[in-house]
Structure 1
Amino acid sequence: MRTRKWRNFDSGKLNEVLGHFYMYAHKQDGKHYKATSFENIRHALNRHRCGVPYSRKIDIIKDTEFSDSNECFKAAFAELKRIGKDSVDHHPVINETDRKKLFGSIIMIPDAPEALLNKVQFDIRLYFCRRAQENMHGMTKSTFEVLNDPKTGLKYVAKCEDELTKNHRGNHRELTSGVMPKFPGSPYCPVKSYETYISKLHPLCTSLWQRPKESFNDEDTIWYCNSRLGEKTLAKFMTKLSEGAN
């Protein structure tokens, strides 16, 4: 979109050009933008249009004259999310040495309520890189789902609902994504642990993170109380886990 041409477009023409731009925007190497970059471009265009030297009193995001182009943006944005371009690069939450040490410790062997809770919560943090403790506290049994990969026939866990973060309230959604894969034959398979955990949760509590029972039998159908874990408990999880593994 050449600035010298589009700066003088009326709203109707600009709406048309923007719609075309949103649907066909790519980087110079032909690859797709990440969803966050795509959204930033849109906001930059809006600021550029309203700022010096143009200072036109229009808003290409909110004004009704741009409803058609905004529908194009929404469609293109949804497609970027569908093909996995809504991910955010994060540093690993724990290094490989510490991870092996944790998996080998008794606090992570998934054969008891508290250890299974530790294992699954660790896996969720590792694969989905949650950035806000309030998200952990707000997770429910329906936050994730187990799906089958048609290409491999293997199960995987994926996020099935967008959640608001502390830094992205209002109309902004958290832009993290990912999948938790199955490792057939592994006693520490994250999918197997997740499915076992879900099957043992208290049916009357919707929270994903429930307080483990102090006493239990292996054959019990419910390993957890009708009580969610508190925010402070979740916030201190990684510290407590590391201390327990030492």
Structure 2
Amino acid sequence: MYKSSSLENFRYGLNRHLKAPSHLKSFDIIKDSDFLSSNEIFKTAMSELKTLGKGDVQHYPAIEECDIHKLYSSIHMSTDTPCGLLNKVQMDIRLYFCQRGLENIPEMTKDTFIVDVNPNTGVKFIKKSRDELVKNRRSNEKENFGGFMTENKDSPLCPVKSYEKLLSKLHPENNRLWQHPRDTFCDNDSVWYTKQGLGKDSISSFMTKLSKACC
């Protein structure tokens, strides 16, 4: 039986997935009246789990669709620049994989995620590596570490394409996924980032700074 925290993870994760750039659905399965009946059933299930002693946790609210569109259409998320590419990929990672604030974002490395291919469709997707899943589950069994980020070949905002580009431009002597952008660069430079990794303070203030810049 799932804990209430797991059901909450699934619910918010699905809502984020539907609002992500590959879909950008206008409806909200948590707030819209069309889903009132479904949400009542969900609340009943949550109450039953609490009665059985399955605790719940506090979650961060989902980002509104209009805010997502504003962020992704901003020059600050352009994959043509080191800063924009870094912002775009970190935002993608947060939307698809991170449901509770920072989680393990500051510690992410080039090996945290792997790019795989669906053998039936040929579509690429990104998922957390097996080693990362095992490590995180040992440290905190309450976290939900599932999920994947799917390729959208027809979209300029394809999260897989952005992620692969970031990996190709990172400094080879640093295994950190989040590195400081170089002050100057050329499109055809093999490296866009320095050997210095971003600090936890920079990552924790990411959303605040990005939101202000994109307003």
Give structure 2 stretches of 5+ with no counterpart: 17-61
Task: Give the 5 Å matches for 1:36-55.
Answer: 36=3
Task: Give the 5 Å matches for 1:1-246.
Answer: 33-34=1-2, 36=3, 88-90=10-12, 92=16, 93-133=62-102, 135-160=104-129, 161-162=132-133, 170=139, 172=141, 174-246=143-215
Cα offsets for 1:83-125 (capped at 9, x unmatched): xx9x644364421111111111100111010000000000000
Equivalent residue letter for 2:211 = S
Pair 1:211–1:140, CA change in 2 (3 A):
same
Percent identity between the two aligned chains = 46
The 2-side partners of 1:224 and 1:200 are apart by 7
Residues 162, 174 of structure 1: 8 Å contact kept: no
SS in 1 for 2:149: strand
The 2-side partners of 1:150 and 1:234 are apart by 35
The 1-side partners of 2:142 and 2:171 are apart by 29
SS in 2 for 1:133: coil
Cα offsets for 1:8-30 (capped at 9, x unmatched): xxxxxxxxxxxxxxxxxxxxxxx
Equivalent residue letter for 2:75 = I
SS in 2 for 1:117: helix
Equivalent residue letter for 2:206 = F
Give structure 1 stretches of 5+ with no counterpart: 1-32, 41-84
Residues 76, 87 of structure 2: 8 Å contact kept: yes
The 2-side partners of 1:206 and 1:215 are apart by 21
The 2-side partners of 1:170 and 1:137 are apart by 16
The 2-side partners of 1:183 and 1:170 are apart by 33
Q: TM-score under structure 1 normalisation?
A: 0.61
Residues 162, 173 of structure 1: 8 Å contact kept: no
The 2-side partners of 1:171 and 1:123 are apart by 23
Instruction: State the shift of 1:176 in Å.
Output: 2.5
Residues 133, 145 of structure 2: 8 Å contact kept: no
The 2-side partners of 1:131 and 1:163 are apart by 19
Instruction: State the shift of 1:132 in Å.
Output: 4.7
Residues 88, 162 of structure 2: 8 Å contact kept: yes
SS in 2 for 1:162: helix
Bigger relative contact order, structure 1 or 2, given CA contacts below 8 A and separation 6+? 2
Residues 148, 154 of structure 1: 8 Å contact kept: yes
Equivalent residue letter for 1:222 = V
Aligned-pair Cα RMSD in Å: 2.7
The 2-side partners of 1:108 and 1:171 are apart by 32
The 1-side partners of 2:142 and 2:186 are apart by 41
Higher-Rg member (1/2): 1
